[in-house]
Structure 1
Amino acid sequence: MRPLISAMASLRDVLVAAIKSLLRGRSVLQAFLAYWTTSSAANSGKKITTSTADFLAEAEKLILGPISGDQLQELSRKLKQQFKDALMTNPACMLPSYNFQLPTGQESGEFLALDVGGSTLRVALVELRGRPVSGSESVIVRMDSFKIDHHVRNLTGRKFFDWMAEKIHQTVAKDSEKGHSSDTPLPVGMAWSFPIEQTSSKGANLCGMGKGFLAAEGLLGQDLGEIIKLSCLEKGLHVELSSIVNDSSATLLSAAYITPSTRFGLILGTGVNIAVHLPVTTIGKPKYGDRPDSWHEKASHVIVNTELGMFGKDILPITRWDELLKKAHPRPDFQPLEQLVSGYYLGEICRLALLDAIPQTGVFGGIVPPSLQTLYSLDTETLSIIEKDNSKTLSSAIQIFQLRHPSSHQATASDLAFLRTLASYVSRRSASIVAASLFALWELKAEADRTLLSALSEGSASTAADRLIAQTETEHKIAHEITTVAFNGSVIENYPGYQKNLQGYIDDLIAGTDAGKGAGIQLAFAKESSLLGAAVALACLD
């Protein structure tokens, strides 16, 4: 009789817990899982101070509370002010490139493009066919990919660029027309994923590369184009590095070639960045450096590398887990926004929260898997797989977690339901902050375009060429319709629900403004954006 009474009491407790959780907006399944996880841990003798439902309620309040309702609009307003200030004076971010001209969509021809990343060198022959060839405006005719392993990263100075030249020669030599050493150099466009001090559309002084690369040793401050040209000449290949772009600018250019409303390029993978096409008047004159008068006479707008990750200091919603991440970071204040949104950090935020939750709630049997004691051991890819599992049993999530983080406690469906919910809070906050950033830049751009158009109509602009008026009017028109944000990167491409959440937050922000009546921001995937963007940048020079 006594076991029956105990079982009935347990069932009653489950029902009470379920009702409480439902009132917080949770599903019946989440409520039952939360209760049984806590109950079974308590019965095993673990000291429990918080139920899983209460911990998740606190986590939701800490992570998502500060970006709910009008608070996200307020965050966007503060970010916009930081962007404005940085555009005028900050030498480390809001950097104007030399790319002022967006593609018309009529550019055509075959171009050699390089994509130099942290783990791969890609060399491609890209054919641009123009917008009239709908659906196949650009085609990668040939591409070779070369792994940059530990050995290659350890090549010092010219040895690295000699290795690059050899790989470029291998690809070009496959085409008899391109494999030549004539006096006419073969123009090359390059997407370079490392710091440089750009001095022209084709000129850039080499800076320290980071990421374990030794290629800059003995070459710091030297012209990157000349280094590559010299290494290629020694392989019998005469090339001219005619255009250099970073990854976010390449994403913008590659999409603008196909979709004329594209004015933003978003990279969201291991890191985060945004490029935006802004009127030149929004940027402080000293930030342009010693550019020739001819550049300023031609440029009404310019692609700006925002270095988005550096923003957000003192205005972002920080939890105790974010503080722990920051405390252990070698450069805690260098990229405040990136620490809350990018793929490098999402898993770590979740790991730190989980270290709190396990002893408090008894989830995962109250036992911390040994691997989770290591910094950054819970990666964002694992969270992505867990969030993707919508099955009742969560069998895929259990399998991948147990494989990557073995423990004396066999992970259960309730354990993974807990982690899945926690991960969803972290990923949704990331999407909301990226949305606030995009919305702030979209508003800033629209305001600047209107100001420039007004100055032109009053005849008070410094240059009033027909070309400038036509371009600005087009910009103004686009600002009141749909603006395309081209995107690329592992998180925004692959994390389940991320794109949908990001678009939803953007739509909500726009709907709360007067501009929301007929205006909008549309996300668009930019496939192979680094190579295609490098080729488009090269074509725009022609």
Structure 2
Amino acid sequence: MVPTYVVGRLDGSETGSYLTLDVGGTFLRVVFVELLGQGKFNARHKKYRIDEGLKVGEATLLFAALINDTVGTLLAHAYQHTDTFIGLGLGTGSNGAYLEQIDRITKWRGDRQGRTEMVINMEFGAFDNERTILPFTKYDRILDQASLNPGEQLFEKMIAGMYLGEIARNILLDLKELQLLFQHDSSWALDTMWSFDTAYMSAIEADATLELENTGRVLETIAQVSGSTLVDRQIVKTVVQLVGQRAARLSSMALAGILCHLGLSSTGPIKHVAIGVDGSLYQFYPGFEKDIMDGLSDILGSKVRSQVNMGPSFDGSSVGAALAAVMAGSK
């Protein structure tokens, strides 16, 4: 729950030209953003490889100011939808940001300058690192222990695209060792950590063929499993569906928590919320948005479908940064 110092509210009328830097793990994008008003913008970019020395040097050599991409997602969506209160990142990693009343932010004691709202970067991937709430399975524990950061980001490891394929692989490996899958044959690929990418799960989820031939091709090409039976393929698809659905339903739990905190209700202070979402899992994983909305409906009631509008927030990391500069300049 990190104060971002991004205060105030966008109304879509903001204009101006801005340069932003979008820093990834490998590349740096220099983006020229033109805000045209009425929620419209143009963005042009050039991409450069980041010098290895900068990656391991002092952070101040690389960064003049820093904005989280999920905060940018919220701002970019708010430029086009003024009732935006939440930004979500559902891709390789997972995170959320939301617009909070400043008088509720007890950890920040700065000069409010008459401002009433500030964006909070939740970093909710670290939720329940104490392991007291979430329904961890043995497959979650196996993944966590094999990760680069055991005991950290546990919620993210249950819902983010970086990890779902590995969870599914561990389940399939367990079923194989129990002699319930693949006629007990070994598969060096299935035995190798991180070999079963979440993109393969997407292909299996989308397989609507009668004999699940596409699933068979994924298994043969990726997992080096030849001659899978229809029952094998049905089991694999069921496992993939369960892992994907669990991720979406847990994501809806996090979202429901934010909505309840904001006071969303037909009679409360907030009656409708727009949510900007970025990330490959949300954009490309079959049925992910539907499963999130189904989860929200189960938690908050069916009325939430008319109160919440989720939508993609494109290029939030650069356009959102430009909008943060607009808001900083208006203080």
Q: Is the 8 A contact 2:297 2:305 kept in 1?
A: no
Q: 1: CA distance between counterparts of 2:63 and 2:45?
A: 22
* 1:395 to partner: Cα distance: 2.3
Q: Tell me the amino acid that sits aligned with residue 490 of structure 1.
A: S
Deviation (angstroms), 1:507: 2.3
Give me the whole-angstrom Cα distance separating, in 1, the residues matched to 2:259 and 2:97.
11
Residue 283 of structure 1, CA deviation:
2.0
User: Displacement of 1:334 after TM fit?
Assistant: 1.2
Whether 2:236 is the aligned partner of 1:419: answer yes
| Alpha-carbon distance in structure 1 between the residues aligned to 2:45 and 2:60 | 30
**Shift in alpha-carbon separation, 1:128–1:418, aligned structure 2, 3 A:** same
Flag the 1:532–1:329 CA change in 2: closer, same or farther, 3 A. same
| Structure 1: stretches of 5+ with no match in the other structure | 1-93, 161-212, 226-242, 451-475
Residue number in structure 2 paired with 1:50 = none
Counterpart residue type for residue 280 of structure 2: S
* Residue 186 of structure 2 corresponds to residue 365 of structure 1: no
Q: Is the contact made by 1:386 and 1:416 (CA closer than 8 Å) also made in structure 2?
A: no
1:539 Cα deviation after fit: 2.1
Shift of 1:328: 2.5
Of the three residues 81, 97, 116, the one matched with 1:259 is: 81
1:57-108 CA deviation, whole Å, 9 max, x = no partner? Answer: xxxxxxxxxxxxxxxxxxxxxxxxxxxxxxxxxxxxx001010122121111
- What corresponds to 2:255 in structure 1? 438
Q: What secondary structure sits across from 1:99 in the alignment?
A: strand
**Deviations 1:116-166, CA, capped at 9 Å, x for gaps:** 1113322222121222x7xxx1122x22223x4xxx45x21xxx4xxxxxx
Assess if the C-alpha contact under 8 Å between 1:507 and 1:520 holds in 2: no
Instruction: Report the alpha carbon displacement of residue 371 of structure 1 after superposing the two structures with TM.
Output: 1.4
Is 2:108 the partner of 1:288? Answer: yes
* Number of residue pairs matched by the alignment: 325
CA contact (8 A) 1:114 1:121 kept: yes
Higher strand share: 2
Aligned pairs (5 A) from 1:314-463: 314-407=132-225, 409-446=226-263
Correspondences of 1:451-490 after superposition (within 5 Å)? 477=269, 479=270, 481-490=271-280
Which of 140, 145, 163 lines up with 2:47 in the alignment?
Answer: 145
Aligned mate of 2:91, from 263, 269, 277: 269
Q: Structure 1's 379 and 223: CA in aligned 2 closer, same or farther, altered over 3 A? A: closer
User: What percent identity do the matched residue pairs reach?
Assistant: 29
- SS of the residue corresponding to residue 6 of structure 2 reads coil
Separation in 2, partners of 1:130, 1:244: 24
Report whether the alignment pairs 1:114 with 2:21: yes
**Cα distance per residue 1:450-502 (max 9 Å; x no partner):** 9xxxxxxxxxxxxxxxxxxxxxxxxx64x1x2201110001111101111111
CA distance in 2, matches of 1:315, 1:129: 46
Unmatched segments (≥5 aa) in structure 2: none
- Checking the alignment, whether the CA contact within 8 Å between 2:70 and 2:89 is kept in structure 1 is yes
| RMSD, matched Cα | 2.2
- Mark the structure with the bigger radius of gyration: 1
Write the distance in 2 (CA, Å) between the matches of 1:261 and 1:509.
22
Q: How does the TM-score come out when normalised to structure 2?
A: 0.91
Q: In the TM superposition, what is the alpha-carbon distance from 1:273 to its structure 2 partner?
A: 0.2
How far apart are the structure 1 equivalents of 2:320 and 2:45? 15
Q: Which amino acid aligns with 1:499?
A: E
Q: Do 1:97 and 1:304's aligned partners in 2 also have CA atoms closer than 8 Å?
A: yes
d(CA) in 2 for partners of 1:298 and 1:268? 33
Instruction: Note the C-alpha offset of 1:111.
Output: 1.8
Q: Secondary structure at the match of 1:297?
A: coil
Bigger relative contact order (CA 8 A; separation at least 6): 2
Q: Matches of residues 23-42 of structure 1 in structure 2 within 5 Å? A: none
Cα contact 2:9–2:117 (8 A) shared by 1: no
Give, in whole Å, the separation in 1 of the partners of 2:18 and 2:175. Answer: 54
- Measure, in 1, the Cα distance between the counterparts of 2:304 and 2:46: 47
- Is the Cα contact below 8 Å between 1:359 and 1:367 reproduced in 2? no
**1:302 counterpart (112, 115, 118):** 118
Aligned partner of 2:164: which letter? Answer: L
The residue number in structure 2 matching 1:509 is 299
Amino acid at match of 1:422: V
Match of 1:224 in 2: 63
Equivalent in 516, 534, 539 of residue 321 of structure 2: 534
**Cα distance in structure 2, aligned partners of 1:412 and 1:125:** 53
* Whole-angstrom distance in 2 between the partners of 1:224 and 1:119: 15
Q: 1:308-347: CA deviations, max 9, x gaps?
A: 0110231001112112222333432211111111111111
| Greater helix proportion | 1
Taking the aligned partners of 1:432 and 1:446, their CA distance within structure 2 comes to 21
Structure 2 CA distance, aligned partners of 1:119 and 1:517?
A: 40
Please state whether the residue corresponding to 1:334 is helix, strand or coil: coil
The answer to whether the 8 Å contact 2:293/2:305 transfers is no
Return the offset for 1:257: 0.4
Change (3 A) 1:278 1:374: same
Question: Which one of 309, 312, 320 corresponds to residue 525 of structure 1?
Answer: 312
How far the C-alpha of 1:223 sits from its partner, in A, is 8.4
Q: Which amino acid aligns with 2:155?
A: L
Q: Please tell me whether the aligned partners of residues 107 and 130 of structure 1 are also in contact (alpha carbons under 8 angstroms).
A: yes
